[in-house]
Structure 1
Amino acid sequence: MSKDSDIKGLKYHIDWLEKSIAEEHIKFYKYSDFQNKSYIGKGSYGKSSSIKMWKRYNNQ
């Protein structure tokens, strides 16, 4: 696969995600909207955290 097709494929997925959030098919939360953040671990995939949502979101 060429670098140009990799970039086009990535752009397609980013556009799809942004459109889905804008049309409210996917609910977006800012990182600061969460509490009780705790580090779980890391590996080749990246870092993992455990996070609890604010109570106000759980009541919707």
Structure 2
Amino acid sequence: MYFAWPLIPQASSQLESIFWGTWLVFFMLVVGANLANLLQLNDPPVMEQDYEQRYRTHNY
């Protein structure tokens, strides 16, 4: 993002603007997914939940 941001306003054609728009959307998706993973906003998959529950019940 540090290198790309100065080049975005220099887009002269519509194709370049579409490219930068898609690139920014993809960048935001990647950053959002990594942030959600770091903050653990999503529940773990069902298989992992079952494993944790079984581990708690069998581990006295």
- Structure having the larger proportion of residues in helix: 2
What range is the shorter-chain TM-score in?
A: 0.3 to 0.5
Q: Tell me: higher relative CO, structure 1 or 2? Use CA pairs within 8 A at least 6 residues apart.
A: 1
- Structure having the larger proportion of residues in strand: 1
What TM-score results when the alignment is normalised by the length of structure 2?
Answer: 0.46
